Homo-oligomer: A and B are copies of this chain.
Amino acid sequence: MLLRLSTLFVRTLREDPVDAEVASHRLLVRAGYIRRAAPGIYTWLPLGLRVLAKVEQVVREEMAAAGAQEVHFPALLPKEPYESTGRWSEYGPNIFRLKDRKGGDYLLAPTHEEMFTLLVKDLYSSYKDLPLQLFQIQTKYRDEARPRAGLIRGREFVMKDAYSFDVDDAGLDASYAAQRAAYQRIFDRLGLEYVVVAATSGAMGGSRSEEFLTPTPIGEDTFVRSAGGYAANVEAVTTVAPAAVDWSDAPSAHVEDTPDTPTIDTLVALANAKFARPDREWTAADTLKNVVLALVQPTGERELVVVGLPGDREVDLKRLEASVAPAEVEPAGDADFAAHPELVRGYLGPGVLGPNVEVAEGAERTAVRYLLDPRVVAGTRWITGANQPGRHVFDLVAGRDFTADGTVEAAEVRAGDPAPDGSGPLELARGIEIGHIFQLGRKYAQALGLTVLDQNGKAQVVTMGSYGIGVTRVLAALAEANHDERGLAWPAHVAPAHVHVVAAGKDPAVFEAAESIATTLAGRGVEVLYDDRPKATPGVKFADAELFGVPLVVVVGRGLADGVVEVRPRVGGTAEQVPLAEAPDRVAELVDDLLAD
């Protein structure tokens, strides 16, 4: 394959696109791989499409190796199956909905659990037909509230989604393990570092799920790891609650004047100044912070709740959303406080929430639900709002003086927190979710009536798994992991070409030699990008070569007078001066080495 830059449909940009925050987005646009068509919606140019096809091919091969069969579903689908499982409403504004000319409701599918379930129901009826794994590589749609980071969070994107169908739990375990292993091979082959972490299932439902994350500081997901092998998305971390504390010798709660202390910092400062205790200073960890939030259901129904958590932790909205899915969470606004005068902003405490502390004069006990961080166990003692402006209550004891309507995982996870499985303190890192595998269990099969007859002729509900890879996102993750300040630097097996030949000079001999190397290599099956542009300067050509990121660069230029060309890797390694006649052999050899990795 020989691509000539003189005719290739590509233009590089020297300037970063204004909306690009991350390197993959910036460089894929600048190098002419993709182009924005609308927010979160991209056009693929020839170089980008070549990389995408190579990534898809790796995915396709490993799916086949895992025993999954390829099918292809429509993107445009009728509402009914998604209504049967509740997802039509659960997805809320996150899916694109439309009507056809007859008024029928349709959606652009975000994933295809329902359709796969119905198709298997349509074709299969016996336990002998199972196990079954199906997959597709297909264009998916999500109407993201905030499409961002180019291909990383788009609204139209390519996904590989696979589904497994088994008669029993052991079968599901085996299918899940096969897909999990295929994912490991895929990311290994792509040279993409990954961690597998426990995850929450969100709108997908099901009992167990794991995410494949590629670690990068620009990742949207935060995950934790312990030295003892625990790994999870922060959304899936369950808080280790301390043991309850004996409160028998705790003093009674007492309300104090704490003027001008609407924040934890000002409260702690005042507590240490006015109410110092002998043994140690007050810290934020001694305070109980109460945050008013709204849970918004996909139907639009909006419920205020108050979340109580230790004052040294912030609320992590994504963790809270994972706990209350499919609801989304938003901060309470002025209108909420106006509607609930009993919630005294800045001085809010469980006094109006729990049953056991007297309600201040003129205040009402609220009907807003109160949810507590799991760390606030019975017997713990807190400084917290007294539900009156400028006043806080001290020595308020959980379980004795207040209770809650439940606990909730809303607090941020911090480095050093204990792993839930006791395997040591947690480290935090950021990553991009590149794969997600779910044991769905029987949720979809039950809702849509997918059963098979077992050995005894009895109908059994099928148990399912669902396995996704964001193919376009993987491409972006590869760009994130393989670039420098000058451009992209693709691994050989996904690069748009293996070799970039640069005719660097004006002398016809330069073009003649470069042409000869390029065509010789292409004739031997090497994929060549050849910069044959007659007018571009060597400087422009070198800059473009660095932007494109083809792994090997062959420069035919000044050295030609001495009968040599330069062969250099795009990153790392050193440049070699190779005699012209030997160049094709040497380059082909280097390409083989790169592809063998």
Contact = CB atoms under 8 A, between A and B. Distances in A.
A10 B74 contact: no
B143 A100 contact: yes
A74 B156 contact: yes
A145 interface: yes
- A interface, how many residues as a size bin? 35 or more
A42 B32 CA distance: 34
Interface stretch (A65-73, A227-235, A392-400, A552-560): A65-73
B97 A141 contact: no
A458 interface: no
A108 B72 CA distance: 18
A98 interface: yes
A132 B49 contact: no
Contact of A108 (B41, B43, B69, B76): B76
A143 B101 contact: yes
A275 interface: no
B96 A71 contact: no
A324 to B, nearest CB: 20
**Complex copy number for this chain:** 2
Considering residues A9, A52, A108, which has the most beta carbons from chain B within 10 angstroms of its beta carbon?
A: A9
B93 A41 contact: no
B156 A76 contact: yes
A93 B104 CA distance: 13
A144 to B, nearest CB: 9
A522 to B, nearest CB: 14
A123 interface: yes
Contacts of A46: 69-71
Contact of A9 (B8, B132, B156): B132
A74 B37 contact: yes
Given A8-B69, A97-B98, A77 B123 contact: no
26 contacts: A9-B71, A9-B132, A9-B134, A10-B123, A35-B122, A38-B78, A41-B74, A43-B72, A43-B74, A43-B115, A43-B119, A44-B71, A44-B72, A46-B69, A46-B70, A49-B71, A52-B72, A74-B156, A75-B139, A76-B96, A76-B156, A94-B101, A96-B100, A98-B98, A100-B143, A108-B108
Given A46-B70, A98-B98, A100-B155, 15 more contacts: A9-B123, A35-B119, A38-B76, A38-B77, A41-B74, A43-B74, A46-B71, A49-B71, A74-B156, A75-B75, A75-B139, A75-B156, A94-B101, A98-B108, A108-B108
Interface of A: 8-11, 32, 35, 37-38, 41-46, 49, 52, 69-78, 93-94, 96-98, 100-101, 106, 108, 115, 119, 122-124, 132, 134, 139, 141, 143, 145, 155-156
Closest 7 CB pairs of A and B: A98-B98, A44-B72, A11-B123, A93-B101, A41-B74, A38-B78, A9-B69
